[in-house]
């Protein structure tokens, strides 16, 4: 604004400058005549020149950081830039500008014509810059450089340049790694997502972003592989891409892994542009299918293993039916799982208008045959079941066990032996009255801590039950022990009689001898002084009078076997219904068992 007169001499025009910038005015004053012809020429720059003082201060402040930068380069190198040598590459170019930066300044201070021309160059970008007025940016934003490298005129720009260079090298390295990793492999992966060439955060111009996108190989790869149109190819001429294109197929195959069963872990291949060759994909698919089949087989096995716990789907269905028919109110839980059966506690309902006991047990005979195979002889040689046994398939034989227990319990009930009552038989499930109270089953004799008196009572009860069983029920328990006797309401209860046989069974007396061994051993151990020896007990139960030699068990067993042999012969001669022992020579007559 000080230079208002366009026709005035340059000295006049520059006079306001002289006060604030005296060295310059000194230089300029002798030159005034020389300059007068160009004064008109200078007019357009005259007003910008008024800013020279303010201009120069930014220049100096520009130079200051540069020199600082120059000075700090070594330390910068050592601490911050040491790990990134690539970062430094723009620095030399930056520093190379320092002399050229200084050069226009020296020109500026030499003859005015030459001063003016660079000044005008210098001022024009400055004046056009709206940032000039900004006190924050005034210093580094001054461009003293010309040519293509003018971008390096601010710290921010420098930092960006350095970063870009670093990123570029990083990406190159990544690409090298990628190539090395994939090699000739049929499965290739891409490190695309790890590339660092990205736009700077807060990048102000949207144009920048576009540029950046253009420089990327494939910045936004499609989420799903391209779909090849029906004609089987895309593009034209040289750029034709068929549906057999390796990359396309690879991506498609990777996407198809999504269709594998959910339990198949496909990894994160989908997220890293994995390309699977057809061959690899096919063998993966094959593996996946065979895995599914295998797991189905495993599942099958699981179903069977529940069968081992007796509750296979068929059994479960039977149990549900009992509940839904109202025979049972509900099934509560498992009391015991043995080798041959599982016992559940349940609440009884109504059966054909008759109440089922409030508390019952469901004895479910296991439908797996393993255990029963060992026990064939208990049923195969039992004449009551002999004929049916040979005709039945193994699964149905198991029902015979339940049936057998039911018949045996019925005989015992008739004789007044304390035992569970049969409420219902459905295939291989036997519903029995519960021995115990309020969901708590009576303890096994082996688990009781009876006093001496109770133990003695128990012993005599057992003795009497064995006699009744043999003589009145015509049965041998065949698995009698402290495990199958419950103590309930001051009384011994006999359970588990599915294997019980008649004494006429080819091994019936041997089974009885074993029962006697268990019983006398148990009570003797529990301190019952009255407990008889096994031989005495055997004779007492059977009413036989076999010779006892305490030292010689083998001899006693020999007598038993002889008896059984005679019995067998007798059965063969007279038919199965004849009670064998009663006709045996010299032996005390036994009562005929009441047949149920
Ligand atoms: P297993 O042939 O598996 O030994 P059991 O008939 O002996 O079958 O029953 C197994 C267990 O279930 C018994 O030891 C007993 O504790 C319990 N139990 C069986 N029947 C009854 C019942 N009627 N009342 C109460 N508990 C029972
Ligand atoms: Mg048992």
Structure confidence by residue, pLDDT tens digits, 414-455: 999 999 999 999 999 999 999 999 999 999 999 999 999 999
Instruction: Report the helix count and the strand count for the chain, using DSSP H and E.
Output: 19, 13
Q: Which of 63, 56, 135 is nearest to 99 (CA)?
A: 63
Which ligand has the shortest distance to the CA of 337?
1
CA 486 to centroid of ligand 1, rounded, Å? 9
pLDDT digits (tens, 9 = 90+) for 291-316: 878 877 776 665 555 444 557 888 88
CA 475 to centroid of ligand 2, rounded, Å? 17
Q: Report the 10 Å Cβ neighbour count for 221.
A: 12
> Catalytic site residues?
479
Longest dimension (CA), the chain: 170
108 lines ligand 1 (CB under 6 A): no
Bridge partners for 334 per DSSP:
344
Average pLDDT (338-351) is 90
484 lines ligand 1 (CB under 6 A): yes
Determine the pLDDT at residue 329. Answer: 95
Question: Is residue 434 within 8 Å of residue 360, measured between CB atoms?
Answer: yes
Distance CA 269, CA 249 (A): 15
Q: Of all protein residues, whose CA lies closest to atom 10 belonging to ligand 1?
A: 336
Give the list of residues 6+ apart from residue 495 with CB closer than 8 angstroms, or none.
419, 420, 435, 484, 485, 486
In our burial notation (b when 16+ CB lie closer than 10 A, e otherwise), range 123-148 reads: bebbeeeeebeeeebbbbbbbbbeee
Most confident listed range (19-33, 180-194, 216-230, 401-415): 401-415
Most confident listed range (197-201, 455-459, 580-584, 592-596): 455-459
Determine the pLDDT at residue 382. Answer: 73
Is residue 87 very low, low, confident or very high in pLDDT (cuts 50, 70, 90)?
low
CA 395 to centroid of ligand 2, rounded, Å? 21
* Distance from chain centroid for Cα 53: 75
Determine the pLDDT at residue 325. Answer: 94
Distance CA 99, CA 146 (A): 13
Determine the pLDDT at residue 214. Answer: 40
Ramachandran quadrant class, 527 (left: phi over 0; alpha: psi -120 to 50; beta: rest): left
Terminal Cα-to-Cα distance of the chain (whole angstroms): 136
Q: Which of 45, 55, 61, 65 is nearest to 126 (CA)?
A: 55
CA 483 to centroid of ligand 2, rounded, Å? 6
pLDDT digits (tens, 9 = 90+) for 203-238: 444 433 333 334 344 444 445 556 666 666 777 777
434 lines ligand 1 (CB under 6 A): yes
Distance CA 88, CA 162 (A): 7
Burial class (CB in 10 A: 0-12, 13-18, 19+), 28: buried
> Ligand 1 pocket check: which of 333, 337, 357, 363 to mutate, most ligand atoms within 8 Å of Cβ?
363
Determine the pLDDT at residue 208. Answer: 39
Q: Would you say residue 398 has pLDDT above 50?
A: yes
The single-letter DSSP state of residue 578 is S
Ligand 1 atom at shortest distance from the alpha carbon of 436: 25
Mean confidence (pLDDT) of the chain: 73
CA 515 to centroid of ligand 2, rounded, Å? 13
pLDDT digits (tens, 9 = 90+) for 5-18: 444 444 444 444 44
> Ligand 1 pocket check: which of 341, 358, 364, 495 to mutate, most ligand atoms within 8 Å of Cβ?
495
Determine the pLDDT at residue 29. Answer: 53
Ligand 1 atom at shortest distance from the alpha carbon of 338: 3
> Ligand 1 pocket check: which of 336, 338, 340 to mutate, most ligand atoms within 8 Å of Cβ?
336
Distance CA 58, CA 126 (A): 11
Determine the pLDDT at residue 272. Answer: 73
Which residues keep their CB under 5 angstroms from ion ligand 2? Answer: 484, 496
The dihedral over CA atoms of 303, 304, 306, 309, expressed in degrees to the nearest 10, equals 170
Q: Would you say residue 68 has pLDDT above 70?
A: no
pLDDT digits (tens, 9 = 90+) for 470-508: 999 999 999 999 999 999 999 999 999 999 999 999 999
Burial class (CB in 10 A: 0-12, 13-18, 19+), 234: middle
Is residue 385 very low, low, confident or very high in pLDDT (cuts 50, 70, 90)?
confident
Q: Of all protein residues, whose CA lies closest to atom 11 belonging to ligand 1?
A: 336
Determine the pLDDT at residue 84. Answer: 46
pLDDT digits (tens, 9 = 90+) for 102-117: 555 554 545 544 444 5
Give the list of residues 6+ apart from residue 11 with CB closer than 8 angstroms, or none.
28, 29, 32
Between these two residues, 516 and 395, which has the higher pLDDT value? 516
Distance CA 373, CA 355 (A): 37
Q: Which of 410, 404, 402, 408 is nearest to 426 (CA)?
A: 402
459 lines ligand 1 (CB under 6 A): no
Q: Cα angle vertex 578, ends 572, 583, to 5°?
A: 95
Average pLDDT (71-85) is 47
Determine the pLDDT at residue 13. Answer: 47
The dihedral over CA atoms of 309, 314, 317, 323, expressed in degrees to the nearest 10, equals -60
Average pLDDT (553-569) is 90
* Distance from chain centroid for Cα 499: 46
341 lines ligand 1 (CB under 6 A): yes
495 lines ligand 1 (CB under 6 A): yes
Determine the pLDDT at residue 36. Answer: 52
Determine the pLDDT at residue 244. Answer: 78
Question: Is residue 89 within 8 Å of residue 165, measured between CB atoms?
Answer: yes
420 lines ligand 1 (CB under 6 A): yes
Determine the pLDDT at residue 309. Answer: 54
> Ligand 1 pocket check: which of 496, 497, 500, 518 to mutate, most ligand atoms within 8 Å of Cβ?
496
The secondary structure of the chain in percent helix, strand, coil, rounded to multiples of 5, reads 55, 10, 35
Bridge partners for 433 per DSSP:
360
Which ligand has the shortest distance to the CA of 479?
2
């Amino acid at each position: 604004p000080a230079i208002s007169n366009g026709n005035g001499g340059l000295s006049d025009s520059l006079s306001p400058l002289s006060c604030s910038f005296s060295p310059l005015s000194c230089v300029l004053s002798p030159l005034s005549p020389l300059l007068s012809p160009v004064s008109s020429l200078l007019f357009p720059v005259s007003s910008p020149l008024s800013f020279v003082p303010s201009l120069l201060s930014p220049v100096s402040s520009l130079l200051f950081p540069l020199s600082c930068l120059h000075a700090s380069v070594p330390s910068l190198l050592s601490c911050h830039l040491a790990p990134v040598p690539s970062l430094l590459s723009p620095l030399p170019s930056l520093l190379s500008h320092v002399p050229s930066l200084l050069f226009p300044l020296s020109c500026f201070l030499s003859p005015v014509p030459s001063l003016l021309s660079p000044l005008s160059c210098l001022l024009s970008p400055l004046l056009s810059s709206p940032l000039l007025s900004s006190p924050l940016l005034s210093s580094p934003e001054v461009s003293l450089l010309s040519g293509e490298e003018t971008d390096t005129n601010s710290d921010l720009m420098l930092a960006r340049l350095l970063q870009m260079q670093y990123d570029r090298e990083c990406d190159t390295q990544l690409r090298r790694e990628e190539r090395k990793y994939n090699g000739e492999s049929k499965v290739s992966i891409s490190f695309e997502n790890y590339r660092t060439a990205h736009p700077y955060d807060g990048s102000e111009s949207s144009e920048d972003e576009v540029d950046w996108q253009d420089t990327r190989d494939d910045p936004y790869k499609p989420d799903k592989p391209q779909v090849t149109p029906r004609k089987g190819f895309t593009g034209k001429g040289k750029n034709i891409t068929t549906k057999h294109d390796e990359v396309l197929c690879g991506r498609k195959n990777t996407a198809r892994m999504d269709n594998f069963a959910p339990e198949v872990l496909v990894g994160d291949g989908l997220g890293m542009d994995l390309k699977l060759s057809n061959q690899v994909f096919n063998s993966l698919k094959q593996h996946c299918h065979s895995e599914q089949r295998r797991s189905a087989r495993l599942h099958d096995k699981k179903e069977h293993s529940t069968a081992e716990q007796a509750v296979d789907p068929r059994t479960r269905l039977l149990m549900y039916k009992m509940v839904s028919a109202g025979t049972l109110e509900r099934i509560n839980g498992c009391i015991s799982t043995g080798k041959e059966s599982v016992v559940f506690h349940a609440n009884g309902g109504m059966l054909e208008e008759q109440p089922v006991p409030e508390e019952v047990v469901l004895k479910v005979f296991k439908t797996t045959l393993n255990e029963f195979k060992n026990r064939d002889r208990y049923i195969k040689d039992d004449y009551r079941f002999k004929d049916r046994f040979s005709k039945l398939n193994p699964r149905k034989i198991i029902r015979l066990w339940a049936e057998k227990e039911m018949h045996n319990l019925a005989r015992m009930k008739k004789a007044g032996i304390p035992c569970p009552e049969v409420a219902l038989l459905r295939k291989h499930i036997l519903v029995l009255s519960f021995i115990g109270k309020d969901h708590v089953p009576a303890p096994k004799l082996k688990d009781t801590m009876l006093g001496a008196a109770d133990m003695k009572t128990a012993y005599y009860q057992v003795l009497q039950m064995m006699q009744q069983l043999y003589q009145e029920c015509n049965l041998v328990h065949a698995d009698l022990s402290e495990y199958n006797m419950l103590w309930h309401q001051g009384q011994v209860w006999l359970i588990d009689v599915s294997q019980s046989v008649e004494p006429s069974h080819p091994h019936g007396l041997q089974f009885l001898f074993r029962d006697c061994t268990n019983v006398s051993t148990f009570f003797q151990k529990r301190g019952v002084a009255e407990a008889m020896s096994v031989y005495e007990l055997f004779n007492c139960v059977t009413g036989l009078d076999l010779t006892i030699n305490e030292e010689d068990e083998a001899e006693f067993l020999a007598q038993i076997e002889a008896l059984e042999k005679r019995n067998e012969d007798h059965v063969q001669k007279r038919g199965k219904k004849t009670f064998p022992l009663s006709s045996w020579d010299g032996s005390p007559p036994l009562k005929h068992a009441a047949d149920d």
